[in-house]
Chains A and B, each alone.
Chain A
Amino acid sequence: MSYNINKKGYYGEFGGAFIPEMLYPNVEELRQNYLKVMAEPDFQKEFNQLLKDYVGRPSPLYFAKRLSEKYNTKIYLKREDLNHTGAHKINNTIGQILMAKRLGKHRIIAETGAGQHGVATATVCALMGLECIVYMGEIDIARQAPNVARMKMLGATVVPATSGSKTLKDATNEAIRDWINNPVDTHYIIGSVVGPHPYPDMVARFQAIVSEEIKWQLQEHEGTENPDYVVACVGGGSNAAGAYYHFLDDTNVNLIAVEAAGLGVDSGESAATSVLGREGIIHGSKTLLMQTNDGQITEPYSISAGLDYPGVGPMHAHLYKSGRAEFISITDDDAMTAGLELCKLEGIIPAIESSHALAVFEKKQFKPNDIAVVSLSGRGDKDLETYINHFKL
């Protein structure tokens, strides 16, 4: 069984491109070109150069000694938090901006929830001198003021999404509508492994640098390329896709996907899509999503804006359904506690998204000789206010 995408754009039964005809030419242009463009030597050269000199790659694979001692196992942290702009998101936006340039696009649109992908997109647009419009839910704009300011400083226009629930899914709808209205000159930089084919695969390939580095870095540390576990949080699932990518078909490596349980999986305030979702279609992709019996998409909840998405990328839906990855849900409280623990034990303030992944060690027993690599997908600077409110700091 393959866990990667097939020729028709599906992971098992998930994926595809369920898009209105108005988007067909845009998506088809991308589908026909993305692999070709990515394989061009000058694309590879420019992509790798920017990842090195601008993003600061390779990101370290750090052996977390005190954390490992506490949980009596070997824990490595893949430090995506040390990237420029503070998260893994920039790997994808660098790749997509180079793609957009080669496709002759000069107007860039993006959606953002908490603002991390918006900032990463605004950053690469500034770098390349391209117009940038970021759609963001009205509610998210109000609660993520610093990131809104960052995007504006970087020259982007932030457009509030005022439809529906006024959060990430609606921002995504608005970006898609913008693309329908601007089919020729615009490239849509989707921020996760979601959306119509080829987006999930393209974004996964741009994020695959994470697992590519883990392999040689672990070889240096441990004399083996393969850890026993790769642990990553999953909202849409781009950091997980990157961390899993080169291990997908190597079933000796266990994959753990951590979803946000919010206030609890059964509380009605949760974003644990694998538990609460059913197969359906969201943003052009057949996948698991949270919905009513009637097929209306529902609003998820998590303390972490980056995990607050009612769907999940089709790759992850397939990893779940096939049993290739183990899915674990972590509540707001447990994630926050794990985040603070990393501060105290390792001197690293993680993004709350990443804190969900760290909380797995309280929930699951690992053996002393197990090697677990955790994708530390982002830094916690953006979350200070949430940490302050939660712990009354």
Chain B
Amino acid sequence: MNRINQKLQEDKKLLSIYFTAGYPNINDTATIIQNLEKNGVDMIEIGLPFSDPLADGPTIQASSTQALKNGMTTDVLFNQLKDIRKTVNIPLIIMGYFNPMLQYGVEAFCQKCQEIGIDGLIIPDLPVDVYHEDYKATFDKYSLINVFLITPQTSDERIRYIDSISNGFIYMVSSASTTGAQSGFGDEQTSYFERIANMNLKNPQIIGFGISNNDTFTQATKYAKGAIIGSAFVKHVTNNGVGTIDGFINKIYFK
């Protein structure tokens, strides 16, 4: 069974952390992944940096720009990850935009992911329909779970459609925003969280965008299987480096 599906069966609320590969320093990738696992994080999204990250706010844009300046490329990332499964057991997901994958070759990219032990992909600008028609077979062939996003504006009908072709979890974007834009959740978010929770979808949901601390993590996981922290973690390593991850993670789990 795919590590993501296994993890989703555990009887606990999941914490997933996003970081930008190659940031702050080009060779931080494996260190960050190992430290996150050591500190009890359940799942990791490894951000493959892109020059034009449309869905991201200033924090992840800046980390992506810096990572590219540091020399991060698809090949460099795959090379950094080639032995990662010798030390790390939690699910690993690569999150990136579609063009770098397209240039690498979607099949070659998926094959490489399987070789390394990547469990899934999140590709914000690969539309559901295009995936379904053109790439699903390839993802299946290499046992990769593709994770789709939904937002407060996504219609129930479309959510049902996305649920029907998902086989891991659904990434619930907490509000109409790019990453890192929100601070705290209001009534609008909680009623959206409730609405989705009541839809009884086949796939568990994990909430992302706007999770930054114990408060938002607790609120989100009241309604969903887990939560994803991205910008807040990237900010943390910007300010503190990659050596003090335990402090950040502890603050999420405990006040």
Contact = CB atoms under 8 A, between A and B. Distances in A.
A293 B149 CA distance: 28
B68 interface: yes
Interface in A177-196: 177, 180-184
Contacts of A20: 54-55, 124-125, 149
Contacts of B52: 164, 169-170, 173, 282-283, 297
B102 interface: yes
A295 B50 CA distance: 8
B9 interface: no
Contacts of A279: 102
B132 to A, nearest CB: 13
B51 A296 contact: yes
Interface string A161-182: 0011000011001001100111
A293 B76 CA distance: 13
Interface size class of chain A, counting residues whose CB lies under 8 Å from the partner chain? 35 or more
Contacts of A22: 55, 149, 151, 153, 173, 176-178
Given A24-B154, A183-B153, A295 B54 contact: no
A295 B101 contact: yes
Contacts of A183: 151, 153, 176
Interface string B143-155: 0000011110111
B52, B53, B148, B150: most-surrounded residue (chain A CB, <10 A): B52
B124 A296 contact: no
A180 B100 CA distance: 22
A19 B173 contact: no
A180 B74 contact: no
Contacts of A180: 54-55, 176-178
A276 B173 CA distance: 37
Interface in B78-112: 97-104
A17 interface: yes
A129 interface: no
Nearest to A181: B177
A170 B68 CA distance: 16
B99 A21 contact: no
A169 B54 CA distance: 11
A20 B153 CA distance: 12
Interface string A257-300: 00000000000000000000011111110000001011111100
B5 interface: no
Interface stretch (B33-41, B57-65, B218-226, B241-249): B57-65
B126 interface: yes
B102 A280 contact: yes
A-B CB proximity, top 10 nearest: A295-B103, A295-B100, A21-B149, A20-B124, A296-B51, A20-B55, A25-B153, A295-B99, A294-B73, A281-B99
Interface of B: 50-55, 57-58, 61-62, 65, 68, 73-75, 97-104, 124-128, 130, 148-151, 153-155, 158, 173, 176-178, 181
17 contacts: A21-B150, A21-B151, A22-B176, A25-B155, A164-B61, A170-B52, A173-B53, A177-B178, A180-B54, A180-B177, A181-B176, A181-B178, A281-B97, A281-B102, A284-B54, A293-B103, A295-B104
Interface of A: 16-22, 24-25, 163-164, 169-170, 173, 176-177, 180-184, 278-284, 291, 293-298
Given A25-B151, A296-B100, 19 more contacts: A20-B54, A20-B124, A21-B124, A21-B150, A25-B155, A164-B52, A164-B61, A170-B52, A173-B52, A173-B53, A173-B54, A180-B54, A180-B177, A279-B102, A291-B103, A293-B103, A295-B101, A296-B50, A296-B51
